[in-house]
């Protein structure tokens, strides 16, 4: 396995001075990290190689048609360095950098660090989840650092999410990531037009930078969720954290925890057609429980209105 070389990143940074046509917006949230309990394991025994010599694993089915940057894909390939690649007719078209950095099996033990995937949900609202479990770092001299992370693809709206799970990275480590960055590359890009959109800034205030080789200022902690969305169903402020949803995803009841419930005057549950399917107008304390048991599987929005603002967040019904 080879790591990316600095020359390529410098070259793509120069190319990226072109005019961009960014189509996704990104927001930060938190949610309990849940590892897949049902999954298929990717066969890592006979990998291909990407153009930089890194292991590239079998094309795996998404389970539905996913429209990404103007093209539709029903499968993807997985790079061991923490990215997903979309191709058509043997040509690389686009990619998502999930937790892109020089990764390897923890303690060089493949069985301890599988890459797994699964698709769940009903037609029209299916979710594909790709998970890297217990991956180690090539440049970790002590071989005791590891990370878990996931990519979620949503059939509805063609959104995607990057979810960070349990990590163990020593503060003294400074060479785990590309270009001596303090964090992995996270974002997406289009190969044919050399477009790159990568997260920069603080982990809780991410921005999309249109050049290659960038990173956040620190590694996102366990429970971090970055939502890349094109949907616009009345979302007024996805970056606010004035309430939290747990568990999310849910297959039954979920709790809405408010930072200041006395300010909330209305809470609505909205489907992806923009229809309000539940509404609560009572006075609120710190928590509100909503039962999703009878809801169809899919994506919903929780919209909380106060006297000062309207805040909307996404929830997934399994």
Per-residue model confidence as pLDDT tens digits over 177-219 = 998 999 999 999 998 888 899 999 999 999 999 888 889 999 9
Task: Indicate if the pLDDT at residue 234 is higher than 60.
Answer: no
Q: Are 149 and 134 in contact (CB under 8 A)?
A: no
* Highest-pLDDT range among 12-26, 187-201, 240-254: 187-201
What pTM was computed for the model? 0.79
- Going from N- to C-terminal start, the domains of the chain cover 6-229, 243-317
- The per-residue pLDDT for range 78-114, each reduced to its tens digit, is 999 999 999 988 889 999 999 999 999 998 888 899 9
CA distance 138 to 143: 8
**Position 70 pLDDT exceeds 60:** yes
Comparison of pLDDT for 232 and 243, the residue scoring more: 243
Go through the chain and tell me how many residues it has: 318
The dihedral built from the CA positions of residue 202, 206, 209 and 212, taken in this order, carries a sign that is positive
CATH topology of domain 243-317: Immunoglobulin-like (2.60.40)
CA distance from start to end of the chain: 37
63: left (phi over 0), alpha (psi -120 to 50) or beta: left
Cβ-proximal residues to 235 (8 Å cutoff; 6+ apart), any chain:
229, 301, 312
């Amino acid at each position: 396995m080879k790591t990316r070389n600095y020359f390529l990143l410098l070259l793509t940074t120069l190319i990226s001075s072109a005019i961009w046509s960014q189509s996704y917006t990104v927001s930060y949230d938190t949610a309990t990290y849940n590892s897949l309990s049902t999954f298929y394991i990717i066969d890592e025994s006979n990998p291909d190689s990407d153009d930089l010599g890194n292991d590239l694993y079998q094309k795996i089915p998404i389970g539905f048609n996913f429209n990404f940057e103007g093209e539709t894909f029903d499968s993807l390939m997985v790079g061991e360095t923490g990215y997903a690649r979309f191709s058509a007719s043997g040509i690389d078209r686009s990619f998502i950098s999930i937790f892109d950095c020089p990764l390897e099996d923890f303690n060089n033990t493949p069985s301890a660090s599988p890459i797994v995937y699964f698709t769940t949900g009903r037609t029209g609202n299916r979710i594909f989840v790709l998970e890297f479990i217990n991956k180690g770092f090539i440049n970790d001299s002590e071989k005791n650092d590891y990370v878990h992370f996931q990519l979620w693809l949503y059939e509805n709206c063609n959104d995607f999410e990057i979810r960070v799970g349990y990590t163990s990275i020593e503060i003294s480590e400074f060479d785990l990531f590309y270009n001596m960055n303090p964090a992995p590359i996270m974002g997406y890009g289009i190969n044919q037009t050399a477009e790159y959109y990568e997260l920069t800034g603080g982990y809780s205030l991410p921005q999309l930078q249109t050049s290659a080789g960038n990173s956040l200022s620190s590694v996102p902690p366990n429970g971090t969720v970055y939502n890349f969305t094109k949907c616009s169903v009345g979302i007024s402020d996805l970056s606010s954290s004035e309430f939290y949803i747990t568990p999310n995803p849910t297959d039954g009841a979920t709790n809405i925890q408010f930072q200041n419930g006395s300010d909330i005057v209305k809470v609505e549950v909205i489907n992806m057609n923009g229809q309000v399917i539940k509404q609560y107008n009572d006075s609120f304390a710190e928590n509100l429980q909503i039962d999703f048991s009878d809801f169809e599987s899919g994506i919903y929005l929780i919209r909380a209105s106060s006297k000062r603002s309207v805040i909307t967040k996404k929830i997934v019904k399994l």
